Amino acid sequence: MIVVLGQTATGKTAKAIELAKEYNTEIISADSRQFYKEMKIGVASPTEQELAQAPHHFIGNISIHTPYSIGQYEKEALQLIELLFQKHDKLILVGGSGMYIQAVCQGIDDLPQTDTKIREELNSLFETKGLEPLLSELKDKDLSYYETVDKKNPRRIIRALEVCRQSGRAYSSFLNKEKAQRNFKITKIGIAMPQSQLYERIDKRVDAMIEQGLLQEAQELYPYRDLQALHTVGYQELFPYFEGKSSLEQVTYNIKNNTHHYAKRQATWFKKDKSIIWAFLACLFMSFGLQAQDSNLVFNPSFE
């Protein structure tokens, strides 16, 4: 399994297609927002031309109205991978959603199912009073996780509180279990670039999305803005514009700025994974049939 990963707008789709064509194989997406068929422009889904160049899986395969968990993704992805390895020696996994890549490569922690009413209550609290009361509750119920969580990421904070409220236990007590063993080898290729260059690419891509029809796509999704899938950079910033609360110039700036912050969070996640081979070393390793664990020569970019 060749995993192509990196921050948003680094060119992962093009690299994955290049590798898939070279090895005559198929691509599995690990992008948690490209799953949704109603969301295309705002999540930079592969175009029809790109999809035609290599078989893709988990692109536009479910609706925003369908509840879908990372656990479901792990199960379905592994079933598909088993079938595809009967036809191919190599497969390509591509995405920037760290937890979804982790689900395929080493499994995820076995978290309890939670009542949707709990999530609705927490989302309502966040919308009316912001993050502070949520952070205060998390600090009280799980100090260990509170000290490590990204305190600007409401989705992770709400998810942790869902589990705390449902189980009566600390969220952290369910984490860091033994890694699952996979019956295939994994090579992770990371694509990175200087921060200034990345931000320029992000800004240009946002402008291109606006030109391609992002406003119309988001307008059609506006009635469903409370769905979890729509709590996504590139859509949530536009909703105030449709309500007459903000200018197009301001919401465009907000999309760019929030995407910069998202890229920083991605960098923080990937920095923790020492098995990633970054860009220029990847081809050298693969040419000798090596895995990341076969060498200490792993380059970790600064993302600065």
Q: What are the structural domain ranges in the chain?
A: 2-109+185-294, 116-174
Would you say residue 235 has pLDDT above 80?
Answer: yes
What per-residue confidence (pLDDT) applies to 150?
82
pTM: 0.80
Confidence label for 51 from pLDDT (cuts 50, 70 and 90)? very high
pLDDT at 293: 42
CB 64 within 8 A of CB 229: yes
Considering only the top CATH level, what class is 116-174? mainly alpha
Q: Do domains 2-109+185-294 and 116-174 have the same CATH topology?
A: no
pLDDT tens for each residue of 257-276: 999 999 998 998 899 899 99
Where does 2-109+185-294 sit in CATH, by number? 3.40.50.300
In whole angstroms, what is the distance from residue 255 CA to residue 238 CA? 8
Mean pLDDT across 162-182: 86
| Confidence at 154, pLDDT banded by 50, 70, 90 | confident
According to the model, what pLDDT value does residue 301 have? 42
Cβ-based burial of 209 (10 A; exposed 0-12, middle 13-18, buried ≥19)? buried
Q: Are 112 and 46 in contact (CB under 8 A)?
A: no
Q: What is the pLDDT of residue 198?
A: 95
